[in-house]
Amino acid sequence: MPALARRAAFGIALALGTCFGPAAHAAENSAAAVAQKPAKPQLLLLATYHMANPGLDVVKQQADDILSPRRQQELEALVADLAGFKPTVVAVEELPRNEAKLKQRYADWRAGKAPLGRGEIEQIGFRLLQGMGGPDEWQMRAINWNGMPPGELKAYNYEEWAEARGQTARLQAIRARSQAESDERYLVLHAQGLRAFLQLINSAECMAASHARYFEYATLADDEWGAGANWVGHWMTRNLRMFGKLRELAQPGARVLLIVGSGHAKLLSEYARESGVFEVVDTQAWLKAKP
């Protein structure tokens, strides 16, 4: 090869080495950094109905007695499977100021001084805690927030808006659709059992359908009085406040199991994903009965 050609070839090789060499090393370093990056804390979100059936929601649930032998047997099997997630903390839909009372109720139950209450916090949460540690240990955190919205309450009163605007029938129609959807879902609880019902309400399709109803309530507003939109905005604020408490649990290596009313599930799961704080675990995988 002529000297000029050899010099040209050497120059190209040098240029390629200069171009790709550092880039290759950078890619290797980047891959190593990703490999060394600690895994995100995990979040398993279990959407549920309020098993004590307090009747406080607009849509009334058609649930039976959670203390019946059938439901208790189903719960024990369900909790045994959820325990396989090995949660480090159980987060629940309770106000933080009531956490001390929860802790005392748990201690009383573990000491045989009191039975489990009907609510999902005790029926599922306390059973999970029992498998995580002894009665002197406390790995449950209350994350609920249900404060009053700012300003005058009338600004959020979509029922008063509907009455004042002659739209009461429209509001009733929205509620009737929600109730019909709920009634249909509870048929699964009665016919197929607790696990099948939880699989249903934790499905992406069911969460999306339930969440879509809030956007109907948002239309109960006009240019002068945005009652429905204000109320929906406050609902989203409530869930943001709950997520603020939830992310406090996002410590390295944490495995958080959140037990929450199904109406909160879509927003909280979206906040968890979109914030980048948690790795959101597939709930359905843990609701399937283990062989």
Residue 38, token pair as written in the block: 């600690």
Q: What is the pTM of this model?
A: 0.85
What number is the average pLDDT over the span 145-161?
97
Residue 103, token pair as written in the block: 């802790």
Average pLDDT, the chain: 89
In terms of Cα–Cα distance, which of 135, 89, 84, 88 is closest to 109?
135
What pLDDT score was predicted for residue 53? 83
DSSP character string of 162-189: HHHTT-HHHHHHHHHHHHHHHHHHHHHH
What pLDDT score was predicted for residue 34? 44
183 pLDDT more than 90: yes
Most confident of 33-42, 58-67, 159-168: 159-168
**In the chain, pLDDT over 70 holds for what percent of residues?**
84
62 pLDDT more than 90: no
Q: For residues 110 and 116, is the Cβ–Cβ distance under 8 A?
A: no
Task: Please state the length of the chain.
Answer: 291
For residue 79, CA distances in Å to 23, 118, 259, 286, 288 come to 50, 15, 12, 10, 12
